[in-house]
Structure 1
Amino acid sequence: MLVFCMGTVASMAWLVLREIDELSTANSDNLQWSLAQADVEFLKFELAVNEALRNPENLREVRRRFDIFYSRMQTLQRGEVFQALRSEPEFEQSRQGIENFLSTSVSQIDGTDQALVDALPAMASAAKQAAADVRQISLSGLAAFAKLSDQRREEVVQSLVRVSIVLAVLLGGLSLLAYSFNRLYRSAEQNALAAQRASTRSRTVVEAAADAIIVCDDDGHVVEMNAASQNLFGYSRDETFGCPALELFQPPSVRGAVLDRLIKATEDTENPEAHQRQVETIAVDRAGREFPVEISMAKAEAAGERVFVAHIRDISNRKAAEKGLTEARDRALAGEKAKAEFLALMSHEMRTPLNGLLGTMDLLRDHKLTERQTDLLDHMQSSGHLLLGLVNDVLDLSKFEAGKQRAETRPFNITRLLDGVVETTMSLAAASGNSVAWSWQGEPDAQVLGDSRRLRQVLLNLVSNAIKFTRAGTIDIEVERLPGQEDLVEFRVIDTGIGIAPENLARIFKDFETLDSSYARRAGGTGLGLGISKRFVGLMGGEIGVESEPGEGSMFWLRVPLPVEEQGSSDTTNTAKKTPDADGVARPLSILLVEDNEINRFVARAMIEAEGHTVTEAVNGKAGVEWAQAQEFDVILMDISMPVMDGQEAARAIRAGNGASANSPIVAVTAHALPEEIAGFKAAGMKHCISKPIDRKALLGLLNEVAIRTEHPEPGPTAQEALLLDTNILNELRDTLGATQTARLIGKCINELDTSIQELTETATDDRALGSTAHKCAGSCSSFGMVAMRRALGRIETQAANGSVKRQDLQALASVWEDSKLALQVWEATGEPVSRLTRPA
């Protein structure tokens, strides 16, 4: 653009200069001089003609002057300078007249002297006539030249104006261009300054970064590294420049793997997140020390050059911390396990003396006591039950924290449940001068579905808590079914006690929280009751809250979903069978009591023998197994935690054996109450479970249930017919473990027994391992209720012990197993039992 403008200006300047040059003084003088000179030369020609008339010897001067004038006129006719004048009419007319004169006179001038002398008079006369034209041509030429000069000057002025305009425009453009250049310069200067600052900041950031930053070219050679890299690896920039990065910073054992992972990370465009491009590996420094690092790689391309930037972080401390956290977690898990085991042990150890205390107190009531002794016994039992409640609270808390609490859904009667709550707490309320009652608000429900056991415990906790903080007042329980689709039933426990301050309302549902009041100090407690109640309500899918004012009493409310039981069912909160009439439906039972604690054996024996049953004692599991093999008992009461052999192992040994009591019902007597432990008891062959401390009514109800069943025993196997499955065992196993877990165990059992039975049928009758294999298979069959198969294996085990195994009995195992397996599969698929064999057992 600048070149174009300069060229334009130069061209116009050249044109102006040319015009000025044409109008220069030399050319103007030449033109004017030529016109004037033509006039002078013509006058000299006339003078020469006149002189020749007087003196003919002057002819030569005439010819010379004629030639000069003729030359002048030729110049006017052909000269480029006079071209503009020739376009003037006056000038051209006078010139034509002069041209005619010259044309006529040329022949005379070029003739002889005599001819010229003769023609002089006529020539002088013609010259006089042509003199006017010469004068006219000179004057008109000068006038035309003056006019032409004015035009040229105007053109020059216009050219100068145009040049000025162009120069002005050019100057303006140049000014704008200069302004633009100035802005561009300033902008470039600012950008350069910003780039310099950014570069300085970037370099400062890179240099100040705690992570090592290494830049490599496309071949993996180091081109730049920051100070942290030098500190981490011990190399200077000069030492590393141009060196392969992997060879410097990676041990040989990991180079290939690291390179592959870094290439994959940089080329992975689907995962742009930085954490997905990080690689953990091992690095090595100049001294040869290997340490764990985390590498984040990125690539950049500019001007055809590609570089790789690696951020390297020493994660030695993090790995050490992770290792410490892992060890801490393992220690915490071990601590949790130890705590659980400690709580289970303490539960057992604490319930064992409680069992002796409460059981002995219960036995004292069988004796004749004075009124004073009865009162003392009541206080002792009340304190014992209070201690038992504290133990239960701690155990319930540990169960909940372990995530082993599960809500149950069974039909129960709300009326009966609340009657039991009022009956249980009535004596405690009367001791503080309180009354306890309950009532329905609205239409009462008969049967509902829910967890009656935990609901009862929550209500007992709330009522007991209300009794603690109330003196000579009332505790009312209101029940109301709330409208809506959630099947919510609201229970409200309202007391007239001392109330709760607003600042304490948020504390009361926390563990180990007791309010600082006179009643609280008098009542005591662990502060666990409300915390456990809140957990239980949440477990049942409900919510709990409180409304209270100091001095006005409190109202605790809880809302739990309790859908109405459509078909109705007996109240499962009372699981014990009715006690037989006095004339006795149940017969006396022979009971094996396996218990390592002498006091517990004494209490249980006294309770059982008071009902007319006989008791045989065993001090540990091994002794219990020996008694069960030697003698048939109607019931075996089996403690769980015992030395020598625990209860579960003893139960499995009894079921797997072919002793006299192999099929007798075994009752687990334990302080353990976790669901998976109860499932383990049943899997070991114990159909029933009763908790310590033993409740006399529950124990006697269980014994009477067993007695009633033994009055009408299941038909035993005959030569033509035998029981295939005891579906009660399978149903209890499914109820305890769930259908999925039960099906998995059945599948595993079938797979194992398929192989074992095949091996048994092909085993030689004198094989020493025959008896142990049959014993092992019989235990598995017993756990899954395969009665016929267990009996058949029992016969093989007995024959092996006597050294008289029969080949036909071994071969018969295959058909019994196929029938048993089919029956087990049918039950698993349909729930329907296949109870009889189609061939001899």
Structure 2
Amino acid sequence: MSPRKQFHLPASLSESPWGYFQVDRSTGVLLVWNQAFERLYGFEDEAPGGITMDEFYVFGGGGSFADIRAQVDDHGFWRGRTSSREVVGAIIEADLTLQHSDEEPVLHGYLLEHPTVGGRVRPSSRSEFNMLQMLMEHSPDIIFIRDQLGRVLVSSASFRVAVGLKARSSGDVGKLLEDFISRDIAERFAAVDAEVLETGKASVNHIEEVCFLNGGKCWWMTTTAALIDSLGQTIGTLSVARDISERKRYEKELKVAMEEMQIASQAKTNFLATMSHEIRTPINGVIGAAELCQETYLNAEQKSYLETIIHSGSTLLALVNDILDFSKIEAGQMNLERLSFEPFHVLEELVESFSSQARERGNELILACEPDLPGYIIGDPLRFRQVLANLLSNALKFTFDGEIILRAQVANQSRYGVTLDFIVEDTGIGIEEDRLEAIFESFTQADMSTTRRFGGTGLGLSICRELVSMMGGSLDVESTVGKGSRFIFSLPCEVPADPGAEVVEQIGELAGTRVLVVDDNGTNRKISCALCKQWGFEAESAIDAVEALRKMEAAAEADAPYRLILLDQQMPDLTGLDLAAIIKKRPFAENCKIILLSSSLNREEVDRAKEMGLARALSKPVRRNVLLEVVMETFGVKRAADALSRNGTEFPVAAQIGRRVLLAEDNLVNQTIARTRLTKMGHEVTVVEDGAEAVEAYVKGEFDLILMDVEMPNVDGLEATRRIREVEQAEGKTPVHIVAITANAMDEDRQACMDAGMNDYISKPFRTDRLQRVLGEVDAALDAGDDGGIKPTVEVEVRAWLKSLSPEDRSDMLEAAKVFSDSLEEELVELRRSVRERDEYKLGRYAHQVKGVASVFEARELLAAAESLEAEVKAGENWTRLQQKASALENALISLERALAVEPEF
């Protein structure tokens, strides 16, 4: 019986592609071997029985098996180069490893094959192997080759040193990883190996903290791949690891630093919120008291002092806002909204708000918008306005007796969106070329004297550029010292579906009306003429009185006289009123209407214009729609939107109803100011000093509005609001309107108020007009919530209106009412869907369409609700408020439908 049949190898060894055998420890007789061993040495079915190691191998240096065994006894293994004797098969040389066994009186042998040709090792293969060994020995990476059982066959010096052996040691051969590292980590490596051997896919950059049995620790990033022999068989794994302990240490330090930075950032945020509250509270007191004082009887000197106080307080508030915005941007806490809004209306409001400042400095403030400007864009209207307001403020600050133009134009348009350029040009002091980029740096102005002369923090343009960058746009500047500056704000915008351009109304009755624009300012002439042409007029211009008179005379002689003159007041040589006096005396101007436009309109100019018989005197800059309305009024033409008053009756503005207001405020100064303002408006005010008292007062009384300070002792405003909402839900009460009043100005503060269940948010210091707006919204919400049936006034008004019509018109209106009623349900479904989907654009467009319906049926309530919703969409400030306005519009539509359904008796 052959030795191979006396012993049985496990399948993993028997079928292993590595040559394996066992030898008797005492006699050196080969006891058993696997198929790979037979293949390597060319054995056939049976190997020679009882052959010894000395008969089979020639050991280097003339040594014998006894010498080799002694080394195994001393070191646990032996590894070296051997040659086979001629009595055996094909392989001539092999790398042989013998390893001691603790369980059996045998030695385990492992062979590493070298490719052969005709029984001889190829020299190139040997050199390749030597090169591989050299690379492994000198590589800083940790390299180890293992068989399918996970035993180490070959390793680099770095591996041996890492596991605690000497660099030239062979003590790792035949060992498992768990002989060097903790068992749990070794098992994780084994799991990786198993997956690699099963799938054939390499495991790349497996990161593990390795704990060695000698007490050491380090992080390995290991890549393991399957090892394939020349026959394409998987014979083990090759692993290359890199010690990344230093990198992990840096990562840990970075993580700690980031956590510390976040803690510091949060501390800074808390500090800013606290400082915002502490600073805004006294500012609120100063401005509020001054405004209340202005409403008393004062002499001119006292009024001047109060104006100084209010101006200084407003300036201080602007500085606080700049610092807060800068800090929010720096902390990465500035979030932008995505709302649909009308850019043209924002621009008009901006120019109007800065017009008084422009007049004070003798400046001409001009808005120049291209006609193809989109009607709606999607973005953050608040930050959009902030950027342009800052640019206009700077232009006004550094310009005296000059010109400031705000331009808006389409720079690029594609199916994906549009890029708009908003340009602020001035004729001010200009900026040195080497300071053009410096002005965008924080706390920096063109030079230090600028701060002393003009004031400011030097944060405005820095904040603007950051905001513009967050919007995906760019902010650049061109300037010439002594001639002025040009700031270009380029903004890529998403345009809502089917936005259209800004709709410019054309009036058929005035089509072809000849208009003469008289203005010494070229930009104004160009803009006014373009606007008149958009309205369907024929417009020409004149630069001064001489040219104007010449053109008027020539037009009259050609039997094509001007019917309207848009006349600038501030012109050299002759003022507008002086020219108007001359025109009025000329026979060719008998039927010509004159509208005076003045940058510094005062009572004297208004009275003089009236005495001379001018159509109107308007203050520049004048809004486009206002100018059109004045022109139409001058010629006795009514717009479609004015159908509500076509019977010669104008609707009175309803006075604000006195409401019951609960004021929760712990600061005595703020209490006094708010209570005084509310009382003067005709409201009944109850004052409490903390949140607990607010909840108690609400439970005991009935209120239309609660003004809730957020920062209060004992129970703050947020908790008080939550408790009130719980009471409402438990008792089935209609939710009361709760508005936060707080000095905290951070975005998260506003969101916290909304999350607590508040309806709105007023940041201190709040002005009388802001308070009036909130109270107006309460009125609208309370009116919309009245579901007790049709108000008698609605039915009476509709019946009276129908009765006033001729039989033919009445018949037409009743047919229109049927069409309105049939389509209402479907339209209400769309309205509710737009609310659910928060589609501001659709809500705004629908509100605009409803205004037309209101004009057809003389529906005041519906018109007011539609205008209110449209205005809220444009403001884009509060979604809760917008929902309320949409609900009010729906109620108004239903009320009108019910009113029209009542069959009138005529």
Short-chain TM bin: 0.5 to 0.7
Go from structure 1 to structure 2 and tell me whether the alpha carbon gap of 1:379 and 1:736 turns closer, same or farther (over 3 Å shift).
farther
1:665 maps onto 2:737 in alignment: yes
Given the two structures, how large is their TM-score scaled by the length of structure 1?
0.55
1:592 maps onto 2:662 in alignment: yes
1:610 maps onto 2:663 in alignment: no
For residue 387 of structure 1, report the CA deviation from its aligned partner: 1.8
- Once residues 832 and 743 of structure 2 are traced to their aligned partners in structure 1, the CA distance between those partners, rounded to angstroms, is 21
1:408 maps onto 2:336 in alignment: no
CA contact (8 A) 1:250 1:283 kept: yes
- Once residues 389 and 380 of structure 1 are traced to their aligned partners in structure 2, the CA distance between those partners, rounded to angstroms, is 14
Match in the other structure for 2:713: 643
- Once residues 692 and 651 of structure 2 are traced to their aligned partners in structure 1, the CA distance between those partners, rounded to angstroms, is 37
Match in the other structure for 1:331: 260
- Once residues 602 and 244 of structure 1 are traced to their aligned partners in structure 2, the CA distance between those partners, rounded to angstroms, is 86
Matched position secondary structure for 2:367? strand
Go from structure 1 to structure 2 and tell me whether the alpha carbon gap of 1:507 and 1:203 turns closer, same or farther (over 3 Å shift).
farther
Match in the other structure for 2:365: 437
- Once residues 228 and 654 of structure 2 are traced to their aligned partners in structure 1, the CA distance between those partners, rounded to angstroms, is 99
Identity within the alignment, %? 31
CA contact (8 A) 1:628 1:662 kept: no
For residue 622 of structure 1, report the CA deviation from its aligned partner: 1.0
Match in the other structure for 1:209: 139
Please identify the structure whose Cα radius of gyration is greater: 1
Match in the other structure for 2:869: none
For 2:706, the aligned partner's letter is I
Go from structure 1 to structure 2 and tell me whether the alpha carbon gap of 1:737 and 1:395 turns closer, same or farther (over 3 Å shift).
farther
The equivalent position to 2:395 in structure 1, one of 466, 475, 481, is 466
Matched position secondary structure for 2:707? strand
CA contact (8 A) 1:629 1:660 kept: no
Structure 2 unaligned segments of length 5 or more: list them: 1-121, 506-622, 624-649, 790-827, 840-879, 896-906
For residue 352 of structure 1, report the CA deviation from its aligned partner: 1.8
The equivalent position to 1:281 in structure 2, one of 191, 208, 213, is 208
Match in the other structure for 1:43: none
Go from structure 1 to structure 2 and tell me whether the alpha carbon gap of 1:218 and 1:343 turns closer, same or farther (over 3 Å shift).
same
1:690 maps onto 2:762 in alignment: yes
Matched position secondary structure for 1:617? strand
Match in the other structure for 1:371: 300
Match in the other structure for 1:227: 157
For 2:406, the aligned partner's letter is I
Matched position secondary structure for 1:254? helix
For residue 669 of structure 1, report the CA deviation from its aligned partner: 1.6
- Once residues 504 and 375 of structure 2 are traced to their aligned partners in structure 1, the CA distance between those partners, rounded to angstroms, is 6
Go from structure 1 to structure 2 and tell me whether the alpha carbon gap of 1:245 and 1:734 turns closer, same or farther (over 3 Å shift).
farther
CA contact (8 A) 2:150 2:190 kept: no
For 1:379, the aligned partner's letter is T
CA contact (8 A) 2:363 2:399 kept: no
Structure whose residues are more often strand by fraction: 2
CA contact (8 A) 1:407 1:539 kept: no
CA contact (8 A) 1:632 1:660 kept: no
For 2:363, the aligned partner's letter is S
Structure 1 unaligned segments of length 5 or more: list them: 1-190, 572-579, 718-727, 740-782, 788-823, 834-841
Match in the other structure for 1:349: 278
- Alignment deviations for residues 512-562 of structure 1 (CA, whole Å, 9 cap, x no partner): 332225334422423322233234445556543222123321111234447
For 1:350, the aligned partner's letter is I
- Alignment deviations for residues 716-762 of structure 1 (CA, whole Å, 9 cap, x no partner): 69xxxxxxxxxx9xx999969959xxxxxxxxxxxxxxxxxxxxxxx
State the Cα RMSD in Å. 4.7
Matched position secondary structure for 2:476? strand
For 2:365, the aligned partner's letter is A
CA contact (8 A) 2:284 2:764 kept: yes
- 1:503-522 aligned within 5 A: 503-516=434-447, 518-522=449-453
- Once residues 131 and 302 of structure 2 are traced to their aligned partners in structure 1, the CA distance between those partners, rounded to angstroms, is 92
- Alignment deviations for residues 419-447 of structure 1 (CA, whole Å, 9 cap, x no partner): 5434433454566x441411336548795
Go from structure 1 to structure 2 and tell me whether the alpha carbon gap of 1:379 and 1:566 turns closer, same or farther (over 3 Å shift).
closer
The equivalent position to 2:774 in structure 1, one of 702, 721, 739, is 702
- 1:533-544 aligned within 5 A: 533-538=464-469, 542-544=473-475
For residue 461 of structure 1, report the CA deviation from its aligned partner: 0.5
Go from structure 1 to structure 2 and tell me whether the alpha carbon gap of 1:449 and 1:247 turns closer, same or farther (over 3 Å shift).
closer
Match in the other structure for 2:222: 295
Match in the other structure for 1:554: 485
For residue 700 of structure 1, report the CA deviation from its aligned partner: 2.0
For 1:229, the aligned partner's letter is F
- Once residues 582 and 358 of structure 1 are traced to their aligned partners in structure 2, the CA distance between those partners, rounded to angstroms, is 32
- Once residues 173 and 783 of structure 2 are traced to their aligned partners in structure 1, the CA distance between those partners, rounded to angstroms, is 98
- Once residues 533 and 612 of structure 1 are traced to their aligned partners in structure 2, the CA distance between those partners, rounded to angstroms, is 42
Matched position secondary structure for 2:681? coil
1:247 maps onto 2:317 in alignment: no
Go from structure 1 to structure 2 and tell me whether the alpha carbon gap of 1:353 and 1:279 turns closer, same or farther (over 3 Å shift).
same
- Once residues 219 and 229 of structure 2 are traced to their aligned partners in structure 1, the CA distance between those partners, rounded to angstroms, is 32
- Alignment deviations for residues 116-151 of structure 1 (CA, whole Å, 9 cap, x no partner): xxxxxxxxxxxxxxxxxxxxxxxxxxxxxxxxxxxx
- Once residues 420 and 217 of structure 1 are traced to their aligned partners in structure 2, the CA distance between those partners, rounded to angstroms, is 80
- Alignment deviations for residues 491-517 of structure 1 (CA, whole Å, 9 cap, x no partner): 322112232233333333343332225
Match in the other structure for 2:39: none
Matched position secondary structure for 1:498? coil
1:601 maps onto 2:671 in alignment: yes
CA contact (8 A) 2:154 2:173 kept: no
Match in the other structure for 2:322: 393
CA contact (8 A) 2:372 2:501 kept: no
- Once residues 638 and 704 of structure 1 are traced to their aligned partners in structure 2, the CA distance between those partners, rounded to angstroms, is 17
- Once residues 538 and 227 of structure 1 are traced to their aligned partners in structure 2, the CA distance between those partners, rounded to angstroms, is 54
CA contact (8 A) 2:428 2:485 kept: yes
- Alignment deviations for residues 61-80 of structure 1 (CA, whole Å, 9 cap, x no partner): xxxxxxxxxxxxxxxxxxxx
1:654 maps onto 2:724 in alignment: yes
Go from structure 1 to structure 2 and tell me whether the alpha carbon gap of 1:552 and 1:596 turns closer, same or farther (over 3 Å shift).
same
CA contact (8 A) 1:356 1:600 kept: yes
Go from structure 1 to structure 2 and tell me whether the alpha carbon gap of 1:662 and 1:301 turns closer, same or farther (over 3 Å shift).
closer
For residue 202 of structure 1, report the CA deviation from its aligned partner: 5.3
Match in the other structure for 1:625: 695
Matched position secondary structure for 2:715? coil
Go from structure 1 to structure 2 and tell me whether the alpha carbon gap of 1:329 and 1:353 turns closer, same or farther (over 3 Å shift).
same
Match in the other structure for 1:29: none
Matched position secondary structure for 1:438? strand
Go from structure 1 to structure 2 and tell me whether the alpha carbon gap of 1:368 and 1:307 turns closer, same or farther (over 3 Å shift).
same
- Once residues 280 and 711 of structure 1 are traced to their aligned partners in structure 2, the CA distance between those partners, rounded to angstroms, is 66
For 2:487, the aligned partner's letter is F
Match in the other structure for 1:476: 405
CA contact (8 A) 1:407 1:540 kept: no
- Once residues 780 and 211 of structure 2 are traced to their aligned partners in structure 1, the CA distance between those partners, rounded to angstroms, is 80
Matched position secondary structure for 1:669? strand
- Once residues 377 and 699 of structure 2 are traced to their aligned partners in structure 1, the CA distance between those partners, rounded to angstroms, is 43
- Once residues 705 and 615 of structure 1 are traced to their aligned partners in structure 2, the CA distance between those partners, rounded to angstroms, is 18
Structure whose residues are more often helix by fraction: 1
- Once residues 592 and 660 of structure 1 are traced to their aligned partners in structure 2, the CA distance between those partners, rounded to angstroms, is 20
- Once residues 268 and 332 of structure 1 are traced to their aligned partners in structure 2, the CA distance between those partners, rounded to angstroms, is 45
CA contact (8 A) 2:182 2:212 kept: no
Matched position secondary structure for 2:425? strand
1:316 maps onto 2:386 in alignment: no
The equivalent position to 2:427 in structure 1, one of 469, 477, 496, is 496
- Once residues 732 and 689 of structure 1 are traced to their aligned partners in structure 2, the CA distance between those partners, rounded to angstroms, is 25
